[in-house]
Chain A
């Protein structure tokens, strides 16, 4: 790079932009002519693709022959809900047909069971059919979260608080008017409150209405810290007592029929020690319904997630940080920075050009790498029988473009830190420590309590990994919403914004110091 090549375009466009373009061109020339940096970027891309192929789980929830059965492991197959998401739809239902206009009302007097979970649930439901994944709306009592109205798997609205019992019974009512189901609850059967209203598109003219019970699997993680963790889990069972059952709007003389929806019920889902298999009993004027399973969205953990193939981001990130830091610190080491600044005395502009060139190159390398990781990784997972929970096209695009953006912004941060510290090793270490280490502390190390871990992933640049979160965390589903399972405390774009904020701050600081200090 000689001063002459820089001067020519500047003479052609003396004011403003032309000068900047020349600096950008100079920086691009520097990058592409240093073989180590080009190789480094290629390595970064290969790492993003290659590490992602390490995923090696198999479906069925068992990690190995002598490993404990881990609940929530990747599943082999899963029904899809009305919104296209994978759902769990296992429960016991006592039902009869319901026409386009009608209602069902019950009083729930108790809920008991083996290993009741906070989200064990029982109540009344209007569902399109007994096939798993059907559209539905339900009013229910839960073991730990009061009365809820839930519909179409992902929706949840609170009703009366408190637990149900003989002294505090709960009255539930669902009214169907065409496609619209409205839920009411009451503590005494006379004063009713509207809880929520759901529109179930395409609800058939003859739907099924009835009483249901479900209780999600439990899982205990005894020690999730690095260096040994073991989980155990199993199914649970809930039994609810109903009376004052009143169904209107069905065919005359409708008879109740019992169905184990999803097929896993009815086999004593409560595991060893369960008092009775799933089913229902008539007692006096009421019913007692026993069920296990859940009616809820699946919350994939690691394997089975569309984000699984891009775990190589961490490896690619380190390579990108090394190249980006060297892109500026090598100039200090070799004294080239003095030539650069002599040729282009507006120093802020030099820094901006370096950041722009490297950020762009990283994005251009990162996007196809992430895409390739997914193109190769997903069929590999499917070939092992793993069911991959589908996401919408915008979400998929956000994960891929977000991964590339994360790499690109991290590269700019590394350039800025390099300009500030002027030492390659120090700059690389600083950037890795602020991006990768907080993730490691909050995720795999698992030594911090959840509150502190969440804060690490909110305020440090590691927040940016939230851009890769494929599935929402549902408050009404108990799961391990941890970073290594793909769940973050910040919303995807908010997380990336945190990294952008830090980068802007350090870049500003670096520009200020660059102007004030001798090179």
Chain B
């Protein structure tokens, strides 16, 4: 019985996501801006003489910094949109187990984020592989070609896709907690972008390092690094773990508030 309800909740959420026109556009935008920014940065980076401390895989995946904002919008809308239109009351009347609703939303958001992320990451890596050698960052200059056969590059690629899924969950949790899309996206983007900006501005290398270790984006995207791992403020998987902790905390807060509060 309970399994059946879960399946129903999943199907309902999937139908909602599938039949809203904006979902397709948002996924397209997420892939588009990720690949576009990645390719643009790859084209702008210069290392004419070789020997600069560049990380080809990481440069190829720079677009994630922007693409994540689109994924966050998608996830925030999944909850915020229902509060905006009053639809949430219908949803909760049809499915009184509120945590199941949130779990179903989380599953749908994760699937969409992984799908969009996989396409975006593969296309970004391909763009980097094609563009970077022309700018002095390629096999001819002692850098490895960007290839998924390379262990760290594969880790960066898989990690980036997981990163986007976790950003989706973080956004979903925040949106469930604050019940308003605009406020939720402001909080999420603030959490993502403010840590590195403030860290760089505090003028203290050690404090900056600590700030980067706890920031969801700065820690989470450590998973993209394929060179200079010893200089990272936090290890690749540990960093992704920090983001997972943020996402779990947000989902927990969102779930608790959703089940305790009037809709």
Give A contacts to B, CB under 8 Å. Answer: 36, 40, 51, 54-58, 63-64, 67, 70, 73-74, 222-223, 225-230, 301-304, 308, 311, 314-315, 318-319, 321-322, 325-326, 329-330, 333, 423-429, 432-433, 436-437, 439-441, 443-445, 447-449, 452, 484
Contacts and interface: CB of A to CB of B under 8 A. Distances in A.
B249 interface: no
B183 A326 contact: yes
Interface stretch (B9-17, B116-124, B228-236): B228-236
Given A67-B205, A230-B231, A322-B182, A444 B69 contact: no
A428 B182 contact: yes
A1 B248 CA distance: 42
Contact of B194 (A58, A315, A427, A452): A315
A223 B231 CA distance: 9
Given A226-B212, A322-B182, A448-B41, A333 B84 contact: yes
Contacts of A36: 180, 183
Interface stretch (B96-104, B143-151, B195-203, B250-258): B195-203
A31 to B, nearest CB: 15
B201 A448 contact: no
Contact of B182 (A303, A311, A427): A427
Interface string B157-188: 00000000000000000000000111111100
Contacts of B125: none
16 contacts: A55-B202, A55-B203, A63-B204, A226-B212, A227-B212, A229-B231, A301-B203, A308-B203, A322-B183, A425-B184, A427-B182, A429-B69, A439-B197, A443-B200, A447-B62, A452-B44
A273 B218 CA distance: 40
Contacts of B212: 226-227
Interface of B: 41, 44-46, 53, 55, 58-59, 62, 65-66, 69-70, 72-73, 76-77, 80, 84-85, 180-186, 189-190, 193-194, 196-207, 212, 218, 221-222, 225, 228, 230-233
A227 B72 contact: no
Given A303-B203, A319-B186, A447 B45 contact: yes
Contacts of B231: 223, 227-230
- With most chain A CB atoms within 10 A of its CB, the pick from B186, B225, B232 is B186
Contact of A318 (B73, B76, B194): B194
A57 B53 contact: no
A449 B200 CA distance: 18
A-B pairs, top 9 by smallest CB distance, nearest first, are: A303-B203, A424-B182, A228-B231, A302-B203, A322-B186, A63-B205, A64-B206, A425-B181, A444-B200
A329 B198 CA distance: 29
A214 B188 CA distance: 50
Contacts of A67: 205-206
Contacts of B183: 36, 40, 322, 326
Nearest to B72: A429
Contacts of A443: 197, 200
Secondary structure at the B interface, as helix, strand, loop or mixed, is: helix
A445 B190 CA distance: 16
Nearest to A449: B46
Contacts of A223: 53, 228, 231
Contacts of B184: 425
A311 B185 contact: no
A314 B182 contact: no
A73 B55 CA distance: 27
A437 B180 CA distance: 23
Contact of A311 (B198, B205, B222): B198
Given A228-B230, A437-B69, 12 more contacts: A36-B180, A55-B204, A56-B204, A58-B204, A64-B206, A70-B205, A227-B221, A302-B200, A424-B80, A445-B65, A447-B58, A449-B45
Contact of B233 (A227, A304, A311): A227
A26 to B, nearest CB: 22
Contact of A64 (B190, B193, B204): B204
Given A56-B202, A329-B182, A314 B44 contact: no
A227 B205 contact: no
A315 B185 contact: no
Contacts of B59: 447
A429 B185 contact: yes
A429 B189 contact: yes
Contact of B65 (A225, A437, A449): A437
A169 to B, nearest CB: 33
A311 B65 contact: no
Given A70-B205, A424-B182, A444 B53 contact: no
A496 B255 CA distance: 42
Contacts of B196: 226, 440, 444-445
Contact of B189 (A70, A423, A432, A448): A432
Nearest to A321: B186
A304 B44 CA distance: 33
Given A314-B194, A428-B182, A444-B196, A226 B206 contact: no
B118 to A, nearest CB: 22
Contacts of A439: 197
A432 B232 contact: no
A323 to B, nearest CB: 9
Contacts of B204: 55-58, 63-64, 303
Contacts of A56: 202-204, 207
Given A333-B84, A443-B200, A449-B44, A64 B182 contact: no
A64 B208 CA distance: 11
A429 B188 CA distance: 10
A141 B186 CA distance: 54
A436 B203 contact: no
Contacts of B69: 429, 432-433, 437
Contacts of A303: 202-204
Contact of A441 (B65, B205, B206): B65
